[in-house]
Chain A
Amino acid sequence: MGSYLARRLVQSVFTLVGVSLVVFLVLRIIPGDPARLLLPEGASPEEITRLRTKLGLEQALPIQYLIFLRDAVRGDFGRSYQYDEPALGIVLEKVPATAELTVYALLFAILVAVPIGVLAATRRQTVFDYGTMGFAFLGQSMPSFWLGIMLILVLAVGLRLLPTSGRGTWQHLVMPALTLASFQMALIARLVRSSMLEVLREDYVRTARGKGLPARTVVLRHALRNSIIPVVTVIGLQFGTLLGGAVITETVFNWPGVGKLVVDAIYIRDYPIVQAVLVVSGTAFVLINLLIDLSYSYLDPRIRYA
């Protein structure tokens, strides 16, 4: 376990360095002056010179990267010129709103999808199975921004049940969470079903049935627990998709989170914010996947990291 942990930690550090390298390069692939890009459009020549010195733009690219890395580790991504505050602080301020949205969406997706997947697997080739899986297929084929717009059209504009945008009450949360959850919900339901079908064929499930355990116990204690690992893995890998979905969902519903912030920042070329968001979301992704890897041995005691 110890050496596995060490190896995973080293891997995570490498990934984080890679993340910072990509963020660094994205703003330097364009011909022209990154200092100009990182400052508001009407910046004075003095300001540009000052930032050029700070970023070390006269130095070789590798040196520039080291400077970027040093600043990033200190949490210094420059000042947002739109808010005239350190970029990282502004981004972190918006994290709770995005966390609220993604956590509720994921919870909602899991709470709906896991029971559906289990029922579809145990009632294979029934109307329930075909119906829910067909619906899941549709859910996976819908662009989430379109689903969001359709929800607004029906629930807010048509039936006037829910507010179209903003954050505050639980009514504000319903449509964004549903929009963000739809893809994951479909994915998890299909995955739980196929994973359950596989596990239900295993010998220990037959043994459990043979012992005369009630079907409920067999399905929930023996089968579900063992079929959940691939699901957890995919949820971890899908976290990036979830963040991407948050960018879209927050834009559709004017949800004041990191996604809305970064899209607005991209439109007005407030690149310090964009840099900070890319690094923060990349770091969150790496940490979450590390935690998920480490949770496997808890979920399945057979997994021991040698």
Chain B
Amino acid sequence: MAEALPTPIAATPAALAPGRVSRRPSNIRRLLRNRQASAGGLLILLMLLAAILAPLLAPWDPLAQQLSRRLEPPGSPIYLLGSDPNGRDILSRLLFGARVSLSVGFLSMLLAGVVGVVLGLVSGYFGGSLDDLIMRLADVQLAFPVILLAITIVSVVGRNVATIVLVLGLTGWVVYARTVRSSVLSLRERDFVLAARCLGAGHHRILLRHILPNTAAPILVVATVQIATMIVLESGLSFFGLGIQPPTPTWGGMLAEGRDYLSNAWWVSTIPGLAIMLTVLGINLLGDGLRDVLDPQLKDY
């Protein structure tokens, strides 16, 4: 417990200058030593590699239909993971689908993060009626089931990648804003913020140079878990037929296509679902490990 209470000197940025003697292993080391986090990280690394190397790894063109070879079960000599109702190779579609799922997940997370962090910083730092307004906005946002709002907006505006990222991003800001706000509330009373203010630093500088870096840990944890949420939401949109336009392969879309073939071709839905689950599992494991290492006080949502 004692090491968790830094001396006042250690808390000032000056004491963190290079050359200090570090007694605790670095965060990266501790993360690597955390079995959960490394397992999760490894899973994500594999998924990322699959997405990046998709053109090299995919045995077939993900869009090429061979109608004479529809619904071949996995393990066939031609299609390792079988083929779908249109006679396309599931493995190749899975690899290319990883690109869509991961990048939509990442971009939406980023957008939600920027909006949420800015609102959380402003809300926590300035307080008052601005804070009230932002927190009420958060309540309003939470009152809508995200998936319902997303399918409504996408159905009205139209389904393209930009809309989908925008909708998912704008519905995800609340978790960031609340997390950042609560850390800012305690940070703004700390001595180093007071010191910066005494030295004549403006709000801008205090927020960006002194407060924001100190909220990095919780933001990172939330961001990690949010990628998983966004991936599931995107696949949900595809499941409702409102995701990215076919024939572009997406995991959710592939899964939805298989629904009508459950009784004779179990693999069409099962395999993309497994891919989603493994990715989300990897991200959640990494996020949990990150939280243990960086910010043990942060609770589950």
Contact = CB atoms under 8 A, between A and B. Distances in A.
Interface stretch (A14-22, A51-59, A69-77, A80-88): A14-22
A18 B284 contact: no
Contacts of A282: 140, 143-144
Contacts of A187: 300
A112 interface: no
A149 B268 CA distance: 11
Main secondary structure of the interface of A (DSSP, over half): helix
A278 B144 contact: yes
B270 A153 contact: yes
Residue with the greatest number of chain B CB neighbours at <10 A, chosen from A14, A26, A146, A157 = A146
Which 10 A-B pairs rank lowest in CB-CB distance, beginning with the nearest?
A: A244-B145, A18-B140, A146-B273, A141-B281, A141-B280, A282-B143, A244-B147, A285-B143, A243-B145, A15-B139
Contacts of B145: 240-241, 243-245, 247, 281
B263 A157 contact: yes
B276 interface: yes
Contact of B277 (A143, A230, A234, A278): A143
B152 A266 contact: yes
Interface stretch (B196-204, B208-216, B228-236): B228-236
Contacts of B239: 143, 145, 248
Interface of B: 136-137, 139-140, 142-149, 151-153, 155-157, 228, 232, 235-236, 239-241, 252, 255, 258-259, 262-263, 266, 269-270, 273, 276-277, 280-281, 284-285, 288, 299-301
Contacts of A277: 148
B98 to A, nearest CB: 15
Given A237-B142, A244-B147, A263-B151, 11 more contacts: A18-B140, A18-B143, A30-B156, A140-B284, A153-B266, A153-B270, A244-B148, A251-B240, A278-B152, A282-B140, A286-B139
A142 B147 contact: no
A190 B137 contact: no
A300 B139 CA distance: 24
Given A11-B139, A281-B148, A153 B277 contact: no
A137 interface: yes
Contacts of A26: 149, 152-153, 156
Interface in A223-255: 230, 234, 237, 240-241, 243-245, 247-248, 251
Given A194-B299, A281-B144, A142 B277 contact: yes
Nearest to A242: B145
Interface string A147-159: 0011011000100
A244 B146 contact: yes
B144 A19 contact: yes
A218 interface: no
How many of chain A's residues touch chain B, expressed as a range?
35 or more
Given A143-B236, A153-B262, A237-B142, A269 B152 contact: no
A48 to B, nearest CB: 18
Among B142, B143, B157, max chain A CB count under 10 A is at B143
Interface of A: 11, 14-15, 18-19, 21-22, 26-27, 29-30, 37, 137-138, 140-143, 145-146, 149-150, 152-153, 157, 187, 190-191, 194, 230, 234, 237, 240-241, 243-245, 247-248, 251, 262-263, 266-267, 269, 274, 277-278, 281-282, 285-286
Nearest to B153: A26
B272 to A, nearest CB: 8
B140 A240 contact: no
A266 B155 contact: yes
Nearest to A244: B145
Contacts of A194: 299-300
A41 to B, nearest CB: 14
Contacts of B241: 267
Contacts of B136: 11, 14-15, 18
B196 to A, nearest CB: 34
Contacts of A190: 300
Contacts of B152: 26, 266, 274, 278
Contacts of B153: 26, 29
B148 to A, nearest CB: 5
Contacts of B299: 194, 230
Contact of A146 (B146, B151, B277, B300): B277
Contacts of A21: 140
A37 B136 CA distance: 29
A191 B255 CA distance: 31
A37 B145 CA distance: 22
A202 B257 CA distance: 53
Contact of A263 (B143, B240, B276, B281): B240
Given A143-B276, A145-B236, A149-B269, A278 B255 contact: no
